[in-house]
């Protein structure tokens, strides 16, 4: 099985008529994803390489049965686009856009939780998710991932998401689903959300987790792992050498007041029984060893 995304997922791309949306939307379709629609209120009735364009997500859902939306929308307009997707009836919203204002993220995160509790938001500022061999929504290169399981991957870092997939593929180890949750301060989907889903998935036998400095998500995940996870986990936390008080990459990756350090996160994960690598390759090697002992 896979989590959140499979071969039956039908996706509408908000921003399909733009250059980035078109590139990744068609790339995802070529991978095998059911990309069934795009949206643009001024281009209704047009097509992008055979994919019909609708005025809004609601119209696309009504015409195509779309169940997910992927956003390639400029940051100032993401707030409205997220609510359009939720109002339109999809159950999964994937926001690739970087630079979304934090107050907007907080607003639509809480609005969805209040009004649309069954809608899953992934991102913003994330690479999306891929269930290898089934579907790919976002910007991950499909050829670096091997299908067939038994590993689930969840990562805050986009680039290290790709490395984790490729490290496992080089060892002929497949993945059920790889979820890039993004590193912004208010992520729609958390480590814990993904860990719980992987724990419940019978085909996911082990989990690889990639964290980074800033915030407390990894420590919270460590508590969940200690209390609820039965499957083996390997992990890596990026930012061991990051200087305190300096922003590293994006808004979520900052160590402040002695909190959010890589060392503290690694210590918490190790205390919960997680095999923690000192670099991404070592984390991959630890996962290989865990899989071989399943």
Q: What angle do CA 214, 217, 221 make, to 5 degrees?
A: 145
Handedness of CA 64, 67, 70, 73 (dihedral sign): positive
Rg (CA), the chain: 18
Q: Among residues 40, 143, 228, 250, which one is catalytic?
A: 250
Separation between Cα atoms, residue 162 and residue 83, nearest integer Å: 29
* DSSP summary character for residue 256: B
Report the Cα–Cα distance between both ends of the chain, in Å, rounded: 18
Cα angle, residue 276 at apex, residues 286 and 95 outer, rounded to 5°: 95
Q: Which 8-state DSSP code applies to residue 206?
A: E
Residue 155's DSSP bridge partners are 180, 210
By three-state DSSP, how is residue 238 classified? strand
Residue found by looking up tokens 């049965």 in the block: 65
Q: Is 228 a catalytic residue?
A: no
Indicate which residues carry an active-site annotation.
Answer: 250
């Amino acid at each position: 099985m896979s989590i959140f995304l499979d071969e039956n997922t039908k996706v509408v791309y908000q921003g399909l008529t733009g250059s980035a949306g078109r590139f990744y939307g068609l790339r995802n379709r070529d991978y095998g994803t059911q990309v069934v629609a795009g949206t643009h209120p001024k281009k209704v009735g047009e097509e992008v390489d055979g994919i019909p364009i609708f005025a809004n997500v609601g119209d696309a859902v009504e015409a195509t049965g779309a169940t997910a939306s992927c956003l390639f929308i400029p940051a100032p307009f993401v707030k409205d686009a997220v609510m359009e997707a939720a109002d339109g009836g999809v159950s999964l919203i994937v926001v690739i856009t970087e630079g979304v204002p934090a107050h907007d993220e907080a607003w639509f995160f809480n609005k969805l939780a209040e009004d649309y509790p069954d809608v899953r938001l992934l991102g913003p500022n994330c690479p999306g998710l891929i269930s290898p061999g089934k579907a790919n929504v976002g910007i991950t290169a499909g050829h670096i991932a091997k299908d067939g399981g038994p590993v689930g991957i969840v990562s805050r870092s986009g680039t290290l998401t790709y490395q984790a997939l490729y490290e496992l593929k080089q060892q002929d180890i497949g993945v059920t689903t790889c979820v890039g949750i993004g590193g912004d301060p208010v992520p729609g989907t958390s480590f814990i959300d993904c860990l719980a889903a992987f724990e419940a998935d019978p085909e996911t036998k082990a989990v690889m987790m990639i964290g980074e400095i800033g915030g407390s998500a990894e420590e919270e995940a460590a508590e969940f792992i200690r209390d609820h996870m039965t499957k083996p986990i390997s992990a890596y936390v990026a930012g061991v050498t990051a200087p305190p008080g300096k922003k590293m990459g994006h808004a979520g990756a900052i160590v402040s007041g002695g909190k959010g350090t890589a060392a503290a996160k690694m210590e918490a994960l190790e205390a919960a029984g997680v095999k923690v690598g000192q670099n991404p390759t070592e984390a991959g090697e630890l996962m290989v060893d865990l899989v071989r002992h399943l």
